[in-house]
Chains A and B, each alone.
Chain A
Amino acid sequence: MYSLISPDGSVGDRLPLTLEQMKGLYADMIEARAYDRKSIAMQRQGRLATYASFEGQEAAQIGAAAALESDDWVAGTYRDAALMWRAGYPWKLLVAGRTGDERGGQPPETVNVLPPSITVGGHMIHAVGLAWAEKLKGSTRVALTSFGDGATSEGDFHEAMNFAAVYQTPTIFLCQNNGFAISLPRHEQTRSESIALKADAYGMPGEQVDGNDIAAVVAAISVAVERARKGDGPSLIEAVTYRMGAHTTSDDPARYRDELDAERWRERDPLLRVRKLFQNAGEWSEKWEADLETRATERIEQAVAEAESLPVPRREEMFERMYAEMTGPLRRQLDGGDS
């Protein structure tokens, strides 16, 4: 498994990132975690619909997005808020989506990040089509799709991997293997030694990377992105990580996993090891970390306030969103008439 930063913060090879870049990524992970914790709190207060926490997976998500250009395509899932945000999707809209507002699904015109897929696995092929279109248009844009280990059991995973390889689309498949498909552990999902190994059968490179090591994730995804941009086709990256929280706020992980295991993974926390790296280099202070946390909290609170101040959608918006131009039957239904 490819890794660059050990859990104790020590670095084997030279890092492909500067200290400043590492500090930026660390700040991003802190901000993402602030969003995650705020969301869980809001859900408990009844202010959000069900929420799927990504705590523990910040490095995989922030690292992957950091390897992309601002106009690349991203097709992720309900657990990918950190990835989507780092790729340009505003927190405000991510919060709005979770408060149950379709306007949360509408990123700015310059952001090519699809709203999160809620069904499992159906969106991977979309990144094949998106990338295929860019290839046909002669652009160098790539498309990254993110999914969990659970989604690799879906038939759609096969079709997406196969199409991407057959048509050599500039697609990056990022599997965040967080150990569980809701309650089913990874080793009961597939007999394959790894998920990365599956790439071989499709004729594309596959690599397993320490998903809690942000430098390793950035490096691995960057290689895949570069291949794709050069016209050398798709890649699969398996980021091995761990979902520290529950599947969603309506789930109790104590029913299916050993909490000692979760404690062991806490020592491999993606933020902790970067902090240790800074500490080892004499580049960390309590004040700096506290400042980062304060700034992150302020930004998230601001986004929450903006999202919650969106007026309740008007009834007609539900009808107006269906087609480019409202159809006759919808017009009549909106007006409360008969068919």
Chain B
Amino acid sequence: MTELNVAQALNQALDTALESDERVLLLGEDIGRTGGVFRITDGLLEKHGPDRVYDTPVAESGIVGAAFGLAIAGMRPVAELQFMGFSYPAYDQIISHVARIRNRSNHRFTAPLVIRIPFGGGIGAAEHHSESAEAIYAHVPGLKVVVPSTPHDAKGLLLAAIEDPDPVVFLEPIRMYRAVKEDVPDIYYTTALGKVRVEREGDDITLISWGAMMKETRAAATMIEDEGGSVEVLDLHTLSPLDADGIVDSVNKTGRAVVVHEAPRTGGFGGEVAAIVQERCLYSLLAPVMRVTGPDTIFPLKRSEGHYLPSAEEIVKVAMRALEE
């Protein structure tokens, strides 16, 4: 066990994967010499060499398209795109090719690759650097979409994603990279994809989130408990395939649900969660399913970030409304 933050845990996962599977290789912009814009691949070029870790030209579509070919021919590429706002040039490759090859070849060709994309706001970055577009990836059949929020999960989920026989879009919450530390096993281990993580058990209300908003959700849960409420907290950590049963079990128990995400509200993934809850938990519900989300605005620049990102207080306010029903 070593105490690591999310960034360090991801680095250790990639290091471990490169060591344990010779088919694994990393490619992306500036991931070699500089260790990536967030230093997630720091030291891996020196340790594993230029045949395993590639600094690529600036071409997101090319990176994903090349990784796709590499994967079909038997490699296990892990591609890094620098920010979610820069993933859109690769979106055609992802939806038109990566997500479809198993289907269009009836299992003859498959693309077991991982596309790592840092996402989300909260660090006062430039325009296009704070996007939370997880819903556009979760909407695509054929992909798996994974979002860790803790160091332990970050390593286990990334290793599971690299092992997975299908393509995985692996979303890394930028704000969480260095926010918390926890004990992470030094050994190779995987965390199962497609299962919600019950972070805290409770009886009165279920707070559901993923990625960086787990931080505010956690804080909100503590504030509600300080007022005497009993809160269950779910970290979805895989958006596709979604563990609907895990959500339903929890809400059937508590009777109330609030979904929290920082992406814009309309068409956000929270709507999907709310729909599942109303389909399957209607007779257990004591209050409407509520959402706490970013507004339908462009993610603002640094000076207005506080106006955009939902706060723990907002989550508490909405949860209290549900609890009063």
Binding site for B on A (CB under 8 A): 73, 75, 102-103, 105-107, 109, 114-115, 117, 119, 122-123, 125-134, 136-137, 143, 155-156, 159-160, 162-163, 166-167, 321-325, 327-330, 332, 338-339
B91, chain A: closest CB distance, angstroms: 11
Additional A-B contacts beyond A107-B105, A156-B65, A166-B57 (20; CB < 8 A) = A105-B104, A114-B101, A115-B104, A129-B65, A132-B73, A133-B74, A136-B75, A143-B69, A156-B62, A159-B57, A159-B59, A162-B59, A163-B66, A321-B106, A321-B107, A327-B241, A328-B245, A330-B241, A338-B280, A339-B279
Give A114 to B68 CA distance when docked, in angstroms: 12
Within 8 Å CB of B105, what residues of A? 105-107, 114-115
Q: How many residues of B contact A (CB 8 A)?
A: 50
Let me know if B68 and A129 touch, CB within 8 A: yes
Q: Which of B92-100, B283-291, B317-325 interfaces with chain A?
A: B92-100
B274, chain A: closest CB distance, angstroms: 11
Query: Using an 8 Å CB-CB cutoff, how does the interface string of B39-66 with A read, 1 for contact, 0 for none?
Result: 0000000000001001011010110011
Let me know if B69 and A130 touch, CB within 8 A: yes
Binding site for A on B (CB under 8 A): 25, 51, 54, 56-57, 59, 61-62, 65-75, 77, 92-93, 96-97, 101-110, 141-142, 144, 165-166, 194, 240-245, 275-276, 279-280
Let me know if B194 and A128 touch, CB within 8 A: no
Give A127 to B73 CA distance when docked, in angstroms: 10
B120, chain A: closest CB distance, angstroms: 24
Let me know if A129 and B70 touch, CB within 8 A: yes
Let me know if B103 and A126 touch, CB within 8 A: no
Candidates A163, A322, A324, A332; contact of B62 at CB < 8 Å? A163
Give A122 to B245 CA distance when docked, in angstroms: 38
Give A339 to B251 CA distance when docked, in angstroms: 14
A-B contacts counted at CB < 8 A amount to 150
What are 26 A-B contacts defined by CB distance under 8 Å?
A75-B69, A102-B106, A106-B106, A106-B108, A115-B109, A119-B96, A119-B97, A122-B92, A125-B61, A125-B93, A129-B70, A130-B73, A133-B70, A137-B73, A156-B61, A159-B65, A162-B57, A163-B57, A166-B57, A322-B103, A324-B166, A328-B242, A328-B243, A329-B241, A332-B244, A338-B276
Within 8 Å CB of B65, what residues of A? 122, 125-126, 128-129, 156, 159-160
Who on chain B is nearest to A313 by CB?
B106
Within 8 Å CB of A123, what residues of B? 97
Who on chain A is nearest to B110 by CB?
A324
In the complex, the 6 A-B pairs of residues with the closest C-beta atoms, listed nearest first:
A129-B69, A125-B65, A159-B62, A133-B73, A327-B241, A324-B165
Within 8 Å CB of B102, what residues of A? 321-324
A155-B61, A322-B141, A324-B110 given; A102·B69 CB < 8 A: no
